[in-house]
Amino acid sequence: MLICLPPSEGKTRAPDGAAPVDLAALTGADVLTAQRHTVAEALAAVSTRPDATTLLGVGATLADEVARNVDLKSAPAAPAAQVYTGVLYAAAGLAGLHGEPARRAAHDVRVFSGLWGAVSPVDRIPAYRLSMGVDLPGVGKLATVWRPHLAAALDERAAGDVVVDCRSAAYLAAWKPGTAAADWVTVRVVRETAGRRTVVSHNAKHTRGVLAGHLLRRAAATPRTGEELLAAARELDGEVIGTEIGSGLSYRMIEATLHDATTRRGPRTLEVVIA
């Protein structure tokens, strides 16, 4: 099993005094270090410019976060599971894992990043501000430039396994598993109301996080195929998995189904229904 997650937009800064990032210690260092260095250098240079927020595609209110990009190599670092925060990460609870679930997460989860390419939850990184959708001056479109490096880092890891893909389109563009070698499954979340099913956004992030956390914590063997993934997901049928912000109403997972790929080289889809 390989669980692919997007990064959170917001990042939690590591405590002052924590050791900085060690590029040589990050997952995939043998094939990703040179590109990580290149992107970090270009990001630092761009982040000193007066038009930095525009170039990085963020609002002016995030100028302070962009300014931190200048000193990433000396900034305090913490495990990625603690730096990445937000709905999906709160639901998955990666930062609170111990024992076998923590070992599974380190081996089976990769968080995709415009800066780092892909990291494990245990990799120590600083907080930063950079999306995979950025065309970074001096580097180019990040999804494009990362593609060959991520293929070198992940294709062999994914071969013969199931890839549980919870990423958004920008991060999908940076790496797609070869469907001939891996069982590639994306996760889609829909809400059922009065017999009608519609795609959801906020609840989708939360539900994907719940599913990821369940796959890491369950006592059974990790899935190796889409069918085994479906069986594991169905263990949540009937479970209350979240509470609506504002209304306080809870929602349950009521069904999971596995759909065939719609194109020859595309993924299958695990559809999770909540109500």
Tell me the pLDDT tens digit for each residue of 22-31: 999 999 999 9
What are the pLDDT digits (tens) for 26-71? 999 999 999 999 999 999 999 999 999 999 999 999 999 999 999 9
Question: How much is the pLDDT for 248?
Answer: 73
pLDDT for 201: 77
Average pLDDT taken over every residue of the chain: 95
- 76-85, 97-106, 156-165, 173-182: which range is least confident on average? 173-182
Residue corresponding to tokens 């305090």: 76
Q: Report the share of the chain in percent with pLDDT over 70.
A: 99
Query: What is the predicted pLDDT for the residue at 179?
Result: 74
Give residue limits of the domains in the chain: 2-274
pLDDT at residue 37 in the model: 98
- Euclidean distance between CA atoms 112 and 272, whole angstroms: 22
The pLDDT of residue 25 is 98
Percentage of the chain lying above the pLDDT 90 cut: 89
Q: Structure pTM?
A: 0.95
Is the pLDDT confidence value at 10 over 90? no
For the record, the structure tokens of 186 come out as 């994306």
pLDDT in tens, 179-226: 779 999 999 999 998 888 888 877 899 999 999 999 999 999 999 999
Do 254 and 239 contact (CB within 8 A), yes or no? no
Bridge-based pairing of strands 78-79 and 268-274 is unpaired
Yes or no: say if 62 and 53 are a contact pair by the CB < 8 Å rule: yes
Does residue 246 register a pLDDT over 70?
Answer: no
DSSP result, the chain: -EEEEPPPSSBPPPPTT-----GGGSTTHHHHHHHHHHHHHHHHHHTTSTTHHHHTT--GGGHHHHHHGGGTTTS--EEHHHHB-SHHHHHHTGGG--HHHHHHHHHHEEEEETTTEEE-TTSEE------TT-EETTTEEHHHHHHHHHHHHHHHHHTTSEEEE---HHHHTT----TTTSEEEEEEEEEEETTEEEE-SHHHHHHHHHHHHHHHH-SSPPP-SHHHHHHHHGGGTT-EEEE-TTT--EEEEEEEEEE--SSTTS-EEEEEEE-
User: Which residues sit opposite 124 in a β-bridge?
Assistant: 79
pLDDT at 264 over 90: no
pLDDT reported for residue 180: 77
Lowest mean pLDDT among 112-121, 196-205, 254-263: 196-205
